[in-house]
Amino acid sequence: MRRAAAVALAAVLLVPLSACANDAAGGAHTGAAPAGRSVDGPKVKIMVGGLDKVIYLPAMLTQRLGYFADAGVNVELMSEPAGVNATTALLAGDVQGAVGFYDHTIDLQAKGKIVESVVQFSQAPGEVEVVSTEKADAIRSGADFKGRKLGVTSLGSSTDFLTKYLAVKNGVAVSDFSPVAVGAGQTFIAGLQQGSIDAGMTTDPTVANILDKGLGKVLYDMRTPEGSKAALGGLYPSSSLYMNTDWVEKNKDTTQKLADAFVRTLKWMSSHSPEEIAARMPADYGQGGAAQYAAAIKATLPMFTTDGVMPADGPRTVLAVLAAFHPDVQGKAASIDLARTYTTEFVSRAATG
């Protein structure tokens, strides 16, 4: 009963916020170590908000490269169709870590929960606002969102948040357009094809698939630091490994092993080509074939950090974006302690180790 109560409480806390939904099937998971390798070390379960999304690529890549095993930690990667499930599982104690958007740490602090980003994978959202080819002449900026049907992965997701911010920034009230939950991947693409959405926010490899088929055009490209600054006013740290602060404090050795593995992967990514990265990933992650998948990685690669360190001004940008419309954050923005939403303790040691 205590466990059921914990899960229920977590669900209530997280209704307004979910990480970006993903393209992967719910409940998927991988073994704790690469084939043929056994690891004599602590076991850690990490829930990922979409293992096959390029924005969360470091999670699976670290497993495929064998870096978890090298660091001496048994990691089981799990995947859920909505990132809110990852955070719910984290709060309930079902997993020890979650890979999703950093903005969860701010939202949860507003609700009295202290969760921190331990390894910051990215410095930009990796998201793209894509407009249907048929509507491209009529929708040229967020100012044209009024009266439109705009696709998001799920209501209350990070794509929903960013869409609302782009509308508000351009003078359109959140009540003046209709967010439509269309998921990602093929369901998002079907929304464009069938006209159930006029535009929408998604990530690679879905973006690459849409552009290849000529179904849409890019309105806002936030896959790069420059794109993030242009759309959101600054760097916007998104994908990260975040964990309960209490757990981190009690398991510093294990946390350090995870940071060592992830930082090693980020460095590896910065020195290898998109084709080499794609070759290390599961073959079925590329929705449109190997070449298109490599192109999707290339387009998204600039969003990633090379050292796992939180960008200095990133947290303030995220707080400003959420405070522009998020009811739970608006009234508490002044009291949010951003220093408690992330730590550089472990990645700093990994970078020098």
Task: Compute the Cα dihedral for 161, 153, 81, 61 and give only its sign.
Answer: negative
- Asked whether the beta carbons of 192 and 185 are under 8 A apart, the reply is no
- What are the tens digits of pLDDT across the range 240-249? 999 999 999 9
Kindly give the pairing relationship between strand 149-152 and strand 199-202.
parallel
Tokens of 251: 């398991």
Domain end, chosen from 220, 246, 264, is at 220
CA distance 270 to 284: 23
Residues 7, 119 within the same domain: yes
Tokens of 126: 């990796």
Would the pLDDT of 5 be above 70? no
Bridge partners (DSSP) listed for residue 97: 46
Residues 204, 149 within the same domain: yes
Domain end, chosen from 220, 249, 266, is at 220
- pLDDT value of position 13: 46
Average pLDDT (39-58) is 93
Lowest mean pLDDT among 79-83, 146-150, 201-205, 263-267: 79-83
Residues 110, 17 within the same domain: yes
**For residue 63, which of 50, 53, 73 has the smallest C-alpha distance?**
73
Residues 143, 70 within the same domain: no
> Tell me, what CATH number does 166's domain have?
3.40.190.10
Residues 86, 139 within the same domain: no
- pLDDT value of position 156: 79
Residues 107, 215 within the same domain: no
CA distances from 43 to 63, 75, 76, 192, 279 (A): 14, 6, 8, 42, 27
Residues 87, 146 within the same domain: no
Would the pLDDT of 128 be above 80? yes
Domain-embedded: residue 231: no
Domain-embedded: residue 318: yes
Domain end, chosen from 179, 196, 220, is at 220
Question: In this structure, which amino acid lies at residue 16?
Answer: P
- pLDDT value of position 81: 63
Domain-embedded: residue 229: no
Bridge partners (DSSP) listed for residue 239: 101
Domain-embedded: residue 225: no
Please classify residue 279 by burial: count the beta carbons closer than 10 Å to its beta carbon, then call 0-12 exposed, 13-18 middle and 19+ buried.
Answer: middle
- What are the tens digits of pLDDT across the range 266-293? 999 999 999 999 999 999 998 789 999 9
- What are the tens digits of pLDDT across the range 291-300? 999 999 999 9
Residues 270, 304 within the same domain: yes
**For residue 50, which of 101, 9, 94 has the smallest C-alpha distance?**
101
What is the rounded average pLDDT for all residues in the chain? 89
CA distance 113 to 127: 27
Domain-embedded: residue 228: no
Residues 216, 177 within the same domain: yes
Residues 7, 117 within the same domain: yes
Residues 85, 117 within the same domain: yes
Domain-embedded: residue 227: no
- pLDDT value of position 7: 46
- pLDDT value of position 53: 92
- Asked whether the beta carbons of 202 and 130 are under 8 A apart, the reply is yes
| Higher pLDDT among residues 150 and 353, named by residue | 150
Taking each helix axis from N to C terminus, what angle separates 290-300 and 206-213, rounded to the nearest 10 degrees? 120
Boundaries of domain holding 210: 127-220
Domain-embedded: residue 226: no
- pLDDT value of position 15: 43
CA distance 96 to 88: 11
Residues 37, 74 within the same domain: yes
Tokens of 259: 């940071």
Domain-embedded: residue 78: yes
- pLDDT value of position 254: 98
For residue 244, the surrounding DSSP H or E stretch is strand 239-244
- What are the tens digits of pLDDT across the range 308-337? 999 999 999 999 999 999 888 988 999 999
Query: Total domain count for the chain?
Result: 2
pLDDT band with cut points at 50, 70 and 90 for residue 155: confident
**For residue 62, which of 85, 86, 81, 46 has the smallest C-alpha distance?**
46
